[in-house]
Amino acid sequence: MARHSKWHKVRQFKGAIDAKRSASFTKLGRDITIAARDKGTDPVMNVGLRVAIERARKASMPKDNIERAVQRGAGVGGEAQVESLTYEAYAPGGMALIVECLTDNRNRSTNDVKNLLTKAGGSLASTGAVTYSFDRVGVVRVTPAIPIDQRDEMELSLIDLGVTHLVHDEDGSDLQCIPSDLAGLTEFVQKIPLNVESAEFEWIPKMTIETDEETGMIVQELIEKLEDLDDVRRVYSNMA
């Protein structure tokens, strides 16, 4: 009996890993589709598409999947069109959330996001109720982090290119800029060369809010559940 139980658990674990990998490929593919739709299907001319494809390759996404995602962005294949949706919400404790989705089914996305919020004690907010407390910025994520002994010299060059803020952690460096400078900054950083993990628009809170440990754990769990949804691309919060 123990042997059967062991292998049952192994199969369950493998199934969970396969499901997460499939979900990851779905999200990566939608990133590629949106980038191709917005700026064209040529990675040489479309830096956002180039970065999205590179990220998919690093995740071992099959070449055929990548090519289909690009073709969907060009409107080829007759599949349902992917669209971008942004939901504004309040989590427990009054924390503000911005949930970005890429989906081929608006009703499904709305229902899934709303149900998770409701179960956690949160709610959807009206348009503009949350985003006013965030700044929309371009962010180039570089990994590994810019070496400490090179930061002073490199930061001067990056500021000249429009970098408004730099944040370093043990894994990488985030270079923030106004949205219109994102493509040019990404091109420059790739030529230095630094490894660009991502280049995209993000919501940065103007001010973060402290909360108690219990509420913080509830909000963090909610964010994780939202991020696990296939249609959800990013979740932003003003929780400190």
| 232 and 171 in a common domain | no
Tokens (6 digits) for 134: 């965030």
Q: Where is average pLDDT lowest: 21-25, 114-118, 168-172?
A: 21-25
In a domain, 62, yes or no: yes
Residue 159 pLDDT > 50: yes
Say if residue 143's pLDDT is above 50. yes
Q: β-strands 134-142, 96-103: how paired?
A: unpaired
**Residue 161 is assigned to a structural domain of this protein:** yes
Q: Percentage of residues in the chain with pLDDT exceeding 90?
A: 51
Burial class (CB within 10 angstroms; exposed 0-12, middle 13-18, buried 19+) of 24: middle
Are 56 and 30 contacting, i.e. CB atoms less than 8 angstroms apart?
A: no
Quote the tokens at residue 221.
Answer: 């769990």
Task: Specify whether the CB–CB gap between 218 and 92 falls below 8 A.
Answer: yes
Q: Which of 55, 73, 91 is the last residue of a domain?
A: 73
Measuring CA to CA, which residue among 74, 126, 65, 73 is closest to residue 96?
A: 126
Residue 78 resides in a domain = no
- Whole-number pLDDT of residue 108: 96
Same domain assignment for residues 114 and 127? yes
The three-class DSSP label of residue 145 is coil
Query: Is 9 a domain residue?
Result: yes
The DSSP 8-state label assigned to residue 139 in this structure reads E
Rounded to whole angstroms, how far apart are CA atoms 87 and 96?
Answer: 11
Question: Do 89 and 175 lie in a common domain?
Answer: no
User: Residue 94, by phi and psi: left (phi above 0), alpha (psi -120 to 50) or beta?
Assistant: left
Residues 138 and 195 in one domain: yes
- The parent domain of residue 160 ranges over 134-205
Banded pLDDT at 16 (limits 50, 70, 90): very low
215 token code pair: 């509420």
**Do 152 and 34 share a structural domain?**
no
Domains of the chain: total:
3
Same-domain pairing of 201 and 215: no
Q: pLDDT band for position 87 (50/70/90)?
A: very high
- Rounded CA separation 161/114 (Å): 40
One domain, residues 63 and 115: no
Q: What is the pLDDT of residue 160?
A: 86
DSSP 8-class letter at 170? S
Which CATH number does the domain housing residue 67 bear? 1.10.10.200
User: Residues 145, 177: one domain?
Assistant: yes
Q: Are residues 115 and 221 in the same domain?
A: yes
Distance CA 178, CA 86 (A): 20
pLDDT-derived band at 79, boundaries 50, 70, 90:
low
**Phi, psi of 103, rounded to the nearest 5 degrees:** -145, 155
Tokens standing for residue 87: 């939901």
The whole-model pTM stands at: 0.79
CATH number, position 182: 3.30.70.980
- In eight-state DSSP terms, residue 81 is P
Q: How far apart are CA 186 and CA 39, in angstroms?
A: 15
